[in-house]
C-alpha cells in the first residue's frame, strides 16, 4: 500500500522528456493492460487506445497541441479515442461477447441489455459521447497509476484540438473522437521546470468529508 502512494508522489505531469530514452514494450503493454482492465459503466468499454510511436504523426499533432514538445520527445503517445455515440450494434457486441466468453446468458442480463438498448441509442449523440468519455478518463487514471508503478513518466494532456487529432489519426471514419492523450517516456535530466517543485494538493480536511 505504501509503495503505491510513493509511486503517486513520484509521478508528475512531465514537462520535458529525454528523447534518447524509449519505454520498453513490456512496460507499455503493462500500462495498456491496466487500461483494458479498467472498470466502465455497464462494462461497455466505450473507447479504444491508439499507441502512436510514428514520429512524423506525432510531429503533426504538436502544432495542434499548444506546441507541447512532450508529444515528440516521449517515445509513445497513447490517444484515448471514445465512441462518438452508443448504437444498438455497439451495445449488442459487448453483451454478446460477455455471453460468449462466460458460456451462458440469463434473463436478468438480457433484461439489462434491453434496458440499455431502449435508453442509450435514443439519446442525443453528444450526451452519449460525454458519458463514454467519462469511462475513458477512468482508463486514463489506471494508466497514470500503472505508469507510476512501472517508473515510466507520463503527461496527461487535454491541451490539444481534438478535431485536428481525429483528422490526423482518421478517427472520425471509425466513429471515434479523441478526448485525452498520454505521452509516455522518461524525464529529461535538465530543463523540466516542474520536476523539483513540491507536489501541491488540497489538504485532507478541505478535500475529504467524513459522514459517519
Ligand X SMILES: Cc1cc2nc3c(=O)[nH]c(=O)nc-3n(C[C@H](O)[C@H](O)[C@H](O)COP(=O)(O)O)c2cc1C
Near ligand X by CB under 6 A: residue from 96, 110, 130, 158: 158
Q: What does the alpha-carbon distance between residue 132 and residue 136 come to, in Å, rounded to a whole number?
A: 7
Check binding of 13 to ligand X (CB under 6 A).
Answer: yes
Stretch that binds ligand X, among 74-82, 86-94, 151-159, 166-174 (CB under 6 A): 151-159
Check binding of 159 to ligand X (CB under 6 A).
Answer: yes
Angle at 113 (CA atoms; ends 111, 115), nearest 5 degrees: 70
Check binding of 156 to ligand X (CB under 6 A).
Answer: yes
Near ligand X by CB under 6 A: residue from 28, 52, 79, 157: 157
User: Alpha-carbon torsion 173, 176, 181, 183, what sign?
Assistant: negative
Check binding of 59 to ligand X (CB under 6 A).
Answer: no
Q: What does the alpha-carbon distance between residue 212 and residue 189 come to, in Å, rounded to a whole number?
A: 47
User: Phi then psi for 17, rounded to 5 degrees?
Assistant: -95, 155
> Cα torsion for 97, 98, 101, 104, to the nearest 10°?
-120
Check binding of 178 to ligand X (CB under 6 A).
Answer: no
Check binding of 172 to ligand X (CB under 6 A).
Answer: no
Check binding of 199 to ligand X (CB under 6 A).
Answer: yes
Which is closer to ligand X, CB of 91 or CB of 136? 136
Question: 43 is written with which cell numbers?
Answer: 462494462
Stretch that binds ligand X, among 19-27, 43-51, 155-163, 185-193 (CB under 6 A): 155-163
Check binding of 12 to ligand X (CB under 6 A).
Answer: yes
Q: Exposure string (b/e) for 123-134, b if CB count within 10 Å is 16 or more?
A: eeeeebbebbbe
Q: Which residues bind ligand X (CB under 6 A)?
A: 12-13, 68, 155-159, 180, 199
Amino acid at each position: 500500500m505504501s509503495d503505491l502512494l510513493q509511486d503517486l508522489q513520484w509521478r508528475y505531469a512531465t514537462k520535458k522528456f529525454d528523447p534518447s530514452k524509449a519505454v520498453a514494450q513490456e512496460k507499455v503493454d503493462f500500462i495498456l493492460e491496466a487500461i483494458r482492465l479498467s472498470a466502465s459503466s455497464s462494462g461497455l468499454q466505450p473507447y479504444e487506445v491508439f499507441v502512436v510511436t510514428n514520429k512524423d504523426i506525432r510531429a503533426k499533432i504538436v502544432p495542434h497541441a499548444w506546441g507541447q514538445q512532450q508529444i515528440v520527445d516521449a517515445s509513445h503517445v497513447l490517444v484515448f479515442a471514445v465512441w462518438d455515440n452508443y448504437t444498438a450494434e455497439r451495445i449488442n457486441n459487448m453483451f454478446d461477447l460477455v455471453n460468449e466468453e462466460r458460456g451462458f446468458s440469463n434473463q436478468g442480463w438480457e433484461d439489462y441489455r434491453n434496458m440499455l438498448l431502449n435508453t442509450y441509442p435514443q439519446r442525443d449523440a453528444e450526451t452519449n459521447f460525454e458519458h463514454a468519455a467519462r469511462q475513458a478518463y477512468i482508463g486514463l487514471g489506471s494508466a497514470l497509476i500503472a505508469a507510476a508503478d512501472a517508473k515510466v513518466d507520463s503527461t496527461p494532456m487535454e491541451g490539444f484540438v481534438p478535431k485536428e487529432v481525429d483528422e490526423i489519426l482518421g478517427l472520425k471514419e471509425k466513429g471515434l473522437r479523441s478526448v485525452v492523450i498520454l505521452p509516455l517516456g522518461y524525464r529529461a535530466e535538465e530543463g523540466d521546470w516542474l520536476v523539483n517543485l513540491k507536489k501541491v494538493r488540497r489538504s485532507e480536511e478541505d478535500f475529504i468529508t467524513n459522514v459517519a
